Amino acid sequence: MSQSKGLPSSLDVILHEIPGVRMTPKEGRRIRVDSTPDSLPALLELLKGRMGFMHLSAISCVDWPETDEFELVYHVWSHERKSLVSAHVSIARDPGRFVSVYDIHTPAGFYERDIHEMFGVVFVGSPNLRKFILTSWDGPPPMLKSFDTLQYVNDTYAWVDYRPEWLRDIQGKGGGIVS
Amino acid sequence: MRPENYNPVQHPPSHEYELYFGPNHPGIEGNYAIRVRLNGDLIQEAITDGGYLHRGFEKLMEQRLWIQNIALVPRICVPDPVPMEEAYARAVEALGGLEVPERAQWIRAMMLEMSRICAHLFTFGGNAATIGLYTNMFWGITMRDLFLDIFEEITGARIYHMYITPGGVRRDLPAGALDRLETVIEELERRTPEFEDLFFDSAVVIKRARGVGVISLENALAWGVTGPNLRASGMPSDVRRDDPYLVYPDIEFDVPTEIEGDALARLRVRQAEVTQSVRILRQVIERLRMIEGPVRCPLPNPLAWNIPAGEAYTRVESSKGEVGFFAVSDGGPKPYRVHVRGPSQMHAVQVLERVLKGSRLEDIAQIMFSLDACPPEVDR
Amino acid sequence: MGEGTPMGFWELVADLVLMPLVAFVVGLALVLMARRVRARIERRVGPPVMQPVYDIVKLYSKRTQISHGWMHDVAIMLLLGGFITAEIFLPVPGMNGLAQHGDLLTLIYIMMVPMLGMALGVGDCANPNGSIGISRALTAMLAYDVPYIIAVIGACMVYGTSNLVEIVEIQQAGGPATWGIATMPLLAVAGLISMHGMLGKEPFEIYIAPAEIATGPMVEMSGKYMGALFVMQCFQLYTVGVLYTTLFLGGGEMWLTFLPKVFAVILVFVAITNVFGRLRTDDVIAWMWKWPTGIALLGLLLVMIDV
Amino acid sequence: MNEQVPAVADDAPEACRTPDAEERSLWRRVMDQVADHCRSRSLFVLHYCTGCGAVELPPTITSRFDMERVGVSPMVTPRQADLLLITGYLSVKTLKRVILSYEQMQSPKYVLGFGSCTINGGMYWNSYATVKRLDQYIPVDGFIAGCMPRPEAVQQVFLDLMARIDAGQANAWRDYYLDYNRYLGHQAALFGEDWHTPTDVVAEARHYGHFGPGTTGVHTARLETYTEWAMSKIPELLPERGANEKVRP
């Protein structure tokens, strides 16, 4: 615990070297860092090289249609300092392109492939953006907020009509399944 | 019909051939496929092919209430569902600012360790079956069934418990459950020498596992290997200890490590982990006998439960490695986004491809089972 | 030709029909025993008594059938035919069949035919798992044949004949002290190990290996072909059990003493199989050429000094 | 001259239906009963974990519940198996493999759907990736409700299936031949118009006398034209095959 207490100040020193980076310590060994798209690779590089944040736990992508942005969150963990930095970066939805961090963190290869598949974001320099999960899929990237699952399901699949006796009785009395 | 990802343009040299390993193959854990290019017995290249178990969990969770997702979450990882529930519940607690009562925390730790033992017994069985030692599979899975009985008694379900809810657990332990758990633990300890004779100390098993699928510590760290697989390479890293949650700081346990990083080391680490889990369970049982109190903090109306906007990333140590849940709320009744990071997303894809390269055809199944790759959490 | 009584024509015909039939029935019982013992080791009940029959009838009564070409069909005939022929050359109590006319070497030669047939047939399936399985099966044959041949040659030297009927007679006349297991224990051990390899069970199960090559040669076998393989399994267990009994356990004068020996031999194989994993292909060769071969050579040396 | 058109197409063989039980000879009936009994007592299950229900199969097979007592044992390849267990939800990608596996199995073959997901989507009713109704794509002999079904439920469905096989009633596999056009239509609606499998089901239906009015139709016609086109395109590249196993590129 003591290490994570002293962490924000030492992290501050490093973050000063990178323009456009803001840090917010949070509870429980978590630190949120907001970065600009340009400085993110440098941030990860510095975190890995100087602070030992060498385990890329995950890359999460969030779709924000209101602001027309994708938010990418890089969760990096330090085995030495026992704390987790979540680096947030927002990129424009329209080209949907970002630089790959595969050369810094090898695990990024899978996460970038996954985000490319689910959100359509292109990572320049990622080693393998071939389809992995959705090889039989030719619709839009399914995780986009604009993709309506229920609509797609109703168009594509058929249902068994489930109207058992007991339900019809209840419905006859004015009840039924509340939706 | 060819599989979609078949690329007919490449013509490999005549001495090489391609083999489809899975999805319908007993050497594959779950529903997964590996396309291997072989030169004789040696694997030149392995390309994994997932998505057979894809259900679109992350999309589904965006369309259900926070409370409804409790039912969805354990289904992400079939053999080891409890860590998923725990990670999701903690993410919701962090977002909603809920405080878990002490008794509930101990009960959760108990569920997690029982699930770990079950998953390891399952893996031992699968690992033994890949080398034809079915007896161990039969014994191990029967042993696991005794734990499933305890699960059923406590939660009402054998596999998908849906027991850990945000703010605690669903209901208190039934009377006598702890005693019965103790009997099962004793039974496990009584049977342990048999398993050692049959499986862990068997010359054939050691011969098959030693030096197979070696991951050096450097590679393990660089490739994002976590959990028992990382510990088998010599790194004493455990989320329970490094990023503690629940009551784990109050529990005494060791983090077993090995240095070889091969399939045998991974087996041995898991074997030692079962012992440690038993040790944890005994402490938990002792504490649970003393602690009384509520098992869930009061929740608002779950059908109209708006969680404050924000985001949380929680990590849990599962039997396969590090589970991460990233939950984003926009203040509504449903999650805005939930990202699941299963440990096998690394182990079953990139790590497996790299480890397989240069290995032999005989060892594919052995490597996959020793990495304990779990396809459902890759595909989600 | 031995000094046995000259056989009548009808007696021979009866033998030729009865011997494979008896082999099949005893083989079914052996398969059942193997499965029941395996179930016991795994702490469960196991299949019902008629299970081997159910399986075979079920497979033969499949309504549709996939053939992969005429070689595939011929291969199955080679496979079964090889074993049926082998049964005719194996003397059992009361029936000698053609054992007087052929000797041990003929039998060894005939017992290679099924494997060859399998190789030809599986090659026609164009399934890579099958091809790998067959190459592994032939490799395994290379591994277990070395100690096997040495053990057999040693046995022939001890008995001074390669005629199976005479071998049985010598052991029957001398009592248990002249049984192969007493006169040449090392060769008996080597023979046991190599015959275990011949059965293709763990730890030498390299060519079935479900988790590696999806049962190898059997991968494309469906319906009646699979049924033929199940029948073959009966013959295989019977042949190996009877051969070992004949060479090292005194053969049999009457079925009551003969069958328990055959079952005991198979029981040893089954008990070993279920507590071991499967070795790799190269490990099997290395091990087979090291331990059983060494034991067999030592045994041969002792036998030669004795002789 | 009579204006009536013959009900049977010219190319259909004589025996296009299975004879009723009464029409068969005594010997044939006894043999069929023996065969059905043996079929019911020996079920080889295809080792294919299509979904999460597969996690309850090891307990069902292993020592505690021991399904070998009633003759159920796992088999490795579809060629050897009789029983295909659809253990839970099916993603579209898996469904393709399931259909390929199903067509490779030899009749009589049986399909059991595990869990609510195979009946109507179950828990994943609004998932874009999973198939909702299994019986649209392959004929199903029985379903087990629940998520997930307990080993006891699995055992019960095995016993029920065995009783039905013994009585000669588990004939869903025949529907696939008799109604192939409909099944293919559903498959093609999901997988795209160029969907085809290596097994020539129509030829098999003709050969084994299960050719019915529903075997061919709009959808299989598309298959025929595709086959002819493909066969004319590359006849020399394909090795000679057995009569009932045409390989399409």
ipTM: 0.86
Average pLDDT over residues B75-84: 88
Q: Is C211 near chain B, with CB under 8 Å?
A: yes
The sign one gets for the Cα dihedral A150, A154, A159, A161 is positive
Residue A88 β-bridge partners:
A34, A73
The number of angstroms, rounded, from the C-alpha of C296 to the middle of its chain's C-alpha atoms is 19
Which pLDDT belongs to residue B11?
52
List the pLDDT tens digit at each of the 307 positions of chain C: 344 455 577 778 888 888 888 889 999 999 999 999 999 998 888 899 989 999 999 888 888 877 777 788 888 888 888 888 888 888 887 777 777 777 888 888 888 888 888 888 887 777 788 888 888 888 888 888 889 989 888 888 888 888 888 888 888 887 777 787 777 888 888 989 998 888 888 888 888 888 888 787 888 888 888 888 899 889 989 988 888 888 888 777 778 888 888 899 999 999 989 888 888 888 889 999 989 899 988 988 888 887 5
| Angstrom distance (rounded) from CA A113 to CA D113 | 33
Name the pLDDT band for A8 (thresholds 50, 70, 90): low
Would you put residue A171 in left (φ > 0), alpha (ψ -120 to 50) or beta?
alpha
Average pLDDT over residues B289-318: 86
pLDDT in tens, A59-84: 999 988 888 889 999 999 888 888 88
Nearest Cβ partner of A73 from B242, B326, B350? Answer: B326
Which pLDDT belongs to residue B274?
92
Question: Do the chains contact at A160 and D136, CB–CB below 8 Å?
Answer: no
Q: Are strands A55-64 and A97-99 parallel, antiparallel or unpaired?
A: unpaired
CATH number for position A94: 3.30.460.80
Domain boundaries along the sequence of chain D? 21-170, 179-234+242-249
D5 min Cα distance to partner chain B (Å)? 38
Which pLDDT belongs to residue D9?
41
Is residue A158 situated within a structural domain? no
CB contacts, 8 Å: B155 with chain D: none
Size of interface B-C (CB pairs under 8 A): 74
| Three-state secondary structure call for residue D113 | strand
Which pLDDT belongs to residue B115?
92
CB contacts, 8 Å: D86 with chain B: none
Which pairs with CB-CB distance under 8 Å and at least 24 residues apart come from C144-147? C144/C194, C144/C195, C144/C197, C144/C198, C144/C204, C144/C288, C144/C292, C145/C194, C146/C194, C146/C288, C146/C289, C146/C293, C147/C190, C147/C191, C147/C193, C147/C194, C147/C288, C147/C292, C147/C293, C147/C295, C147/C296
Question: Do the chains contact at B31 and D56, CB–CB below 8 Å?
Answer: no
* Chains A and C touch, using 3 or more CB pairs below 8 Å: no
Q: Which of C120, C253, C245, C228 is nearest to C179 (CA)?
A: C245
Which pairs with CB-CB distance under 8 Å and at least 24 residues apart come from B245-251? B245/B86, B245/B90, B245/B314, B245/B315, B245/B316, B246/B86, B246/B100, B246/B105, B246/B106, B246/B108, B246/B109, B246/B112, B247/B102, B247/B105, B247/B106, B247/B109, B247/B284, B247/B287, B248/B109, B250/B287, B251/B109, B251/B280, B251/B283, B251/B284
CB contacts, 8 Å: D191 with chain A: 136
D79 min Cα distance to partner chain A (Å)? 26
Residue A52's domain comprises: 2-132
CB contacts, 8 Å: A84 with chain B: 243, 313, 315
Nearest Cβ partner of D127 from B56, B125, B145? Answer: B56
Question: Do the chains contact at D34 and C57, CB–CB below 8 Å?
Answer: yes
DSSP, res B360: B
Residue of B nearest to D61 (CA): B138
- Give the number of domains in chain A: 1
pLDDT at position D238 over 70 = no
Residue of A nearest to D96 (CA): A136
Q: Which of B41, B21, B19 is nearest to B31 (CA)?
A: B21
Residue of B nearest to C128 (CA): B19
Do C180 and C113 touch, CB atoms closer than 8 A?
no
Counting Cβ atoms within 10 Å, is residue C260 exposed (0-12), middle (13-18) or buried (19+)?
Answer: middle
Bond into C93 cis (ω within 30): no
Other chains touching C, judged by 3 or more CB pairs under 8 Å: B, D
Nearest Cβ partner of C274 from B135, B142, B365? Answer: B135
Average pLDDT over residues D27-50: 86
Counting Cβ atoms within 10 Å, is residue C306 exposed (0-12), middle (13-18) or buried (19+)?
Answer: exposed
SS3 sequence of D131-154: CCCHHHCCCCCEEECCCCCCHHHH
CB contacts, 8 Å: B235 with chain A: 79
Percent above pLDDT 70 for chain A: 93
C34 min Cα distance to partner chain D (Å)? 13
Q: Which of A124, A122, A127, A119 is nearest to A146 (CA)?
A: A119
- For chain D positions 174-233, those within 8 Å of chain C (CB to CB) are 204, 208
Q: What is the residue whose two structure tokens read 């592994």?
A: C136
Domains annotated on chain B, with CATH: 57-379 (1.10.645.10)
CATH code of the region D21-170: 3.40.50.12280
Which site among A88, A110, A179 would you substitute to test the B interface, given the most B Cβ atoms closer than 10 Å to its Cβ? A110
SS3 sequence of C85-115: HHHHCCCECCECCCCCCCCHHHHHHHHHHHH
Is residue A120 situated within a structural domain? yes
Q: Is C49 near chain D, with CB under 8 Å?
A: no
Question: Do the chains contact at D121 and A157, CB–CB below 8 Å?
Answer: yes
Which site among B20, B28, B135, B195 would you substitute to test the C interface, given the most C Cβ atoms closer than 10 Å to its Cβ? B135
| Angstrom distance (rounded) from CA C186 to CA C248 | 11
C241 min Cα distance to partner chain B (Å)? 23
Residue of C nearest to B41 (CA): C132
Question: Do the chains contact at C42 and B138, CB–CB below 8 Å?
Answer: yes
Other chains touching D, judged by 3 or more CB pairs under 8 Å: A, B, C
C218 min Cα distance to partner chain D (Å)? 8
Residue of D nearest to A148 (CA): D128
Nearest Cβ partner of B59 from D47, D49, D128? Answer: D128
Name the pLDDT band for D16 (thresholds 50, 70, 90): very low
Which site among D99, D126, D137 would you substitute to test the A interface, given the most A Cβ atoms closer than 10 Å to its Cβ? D126
Name the pLDDT band for B275 (thresholds 50, 70, 90): very high
> Residue A47 is encoded by which pair of tokens?
């975190």
Helix (H) or strand (E) holding A115: helix A108-119
| Angstrom distance (rounded) from CA B30 to CA B344 | 12
Other chains touching B, judged by 3 or more CB pairs under 8 Å: A, C, D
Which site among A135, A156, A157 would you substitute to test the D interface, given the most D Cβ atoms closer than 10 Å to its Cβ? A157
Q: Is A66 near chain B, with CB under 8 Å?
A: no
Name the residue with higher pLDDT: D224 or D249.
D224
Which pLDDT belongs to residue D248?
43
Average pLDDT over residues B18-46: 84
Residue of A nearest to B4 (CA): A135
Average pLDDT over residues D14-19: 48
pLDDT at position D3 over 60 = no
pLDDT in tens, A106-147: 889 899 998 998 888 888 888 888 888 888 788 788 888 888
